[in-house]
Amino acid sequence: ARHPPGRRANPTPGPPRGARTARRGTSGGPCLRRGAMAPSRIAWPLLLQGLLAAPLAAQSQSSMKGEWGQEVLGCRCNGRKGTHGYCGYHFHWGSQEDKPWCRTMHGCGNSGLKGAWIHCDDRAVERRRGDDGKHYNSKEMKDFYGDKGKDKWTGAEKYIERRMAKNGQAYTVFQFRDYYIDAL
């Protein structure tokens, strides 16, 4: 099943880590260990998890709809209008994607808790020059430099790849998108 950026499937089913369970005492009745959770306290999180699972599963479905609800071939990234509006590898605690993605306009794409999103072409991702003179996107920089990848990425902010547009101006990938987006 697909999971939107920021949401992962629970890799270890069962009670939450650190939960203690009831056991039988010498008299045959339940005997709770010190600090153990009562069975009803265990059932509540499981019930809640079950109730939330259905809406989350439904949210991972894709909807390729445009501004007026018409079927469309692809989705348009939000651009500078909001967080994660440009195509990229948006690394944070809940997202370690192997493919770039962006938040989309008009609810197009996959539904998520923070809005619609879609995977996008890795050629539309910002690249910066590394120490070896080659350009890397943030994922490649992270993979190539390991633990130092984030520092290398932020340190290369002055060395963002630029390309020439038809007007003779050099633009970053995001500026390029903003320049050409209305020409489509």
**How confident is the chain (184 residues) per 10-residue block, as mean pLDDT?**
49 46 46 46 48 41 88 91 87 71 93 90 92 92 88 93 93 90 72
Predicted pLDDT at 10:
47
Give me the sign of the Cα torsion angle 176, 178, 180, 184: positive
**HSE-up of 71 (CA within 13 Å, CB side)?**
0
Q: What percent of the chain is helix, strand and coil (3-state, nearest 5)?
A: 30, 15, 50
Global pTM value: 0.61
The torsion angles phi and psi of 75, rounded to 5 degrees, stand at -100, 155
181 to each of 135, 163, 178, how far by Cα in Å? 24, 15, 5
E strand spans, 64-181: 101-103, 109-110, 117-119, 128-129, 135-136, 163-164, 170-171
Predicted pLDDT at 14:
45
Instruction: Return the number of other C-beta atoms located less than 10 Å from residue 119's C-beta.
Output: 17
Predicted pLDDT at 112:
87
Three-state secondary structure call for residue 87: coil
Task: Determine the Cα–Cα distance for residues 117 and 55; give it in Å rounded to an integer.
Answer: 17
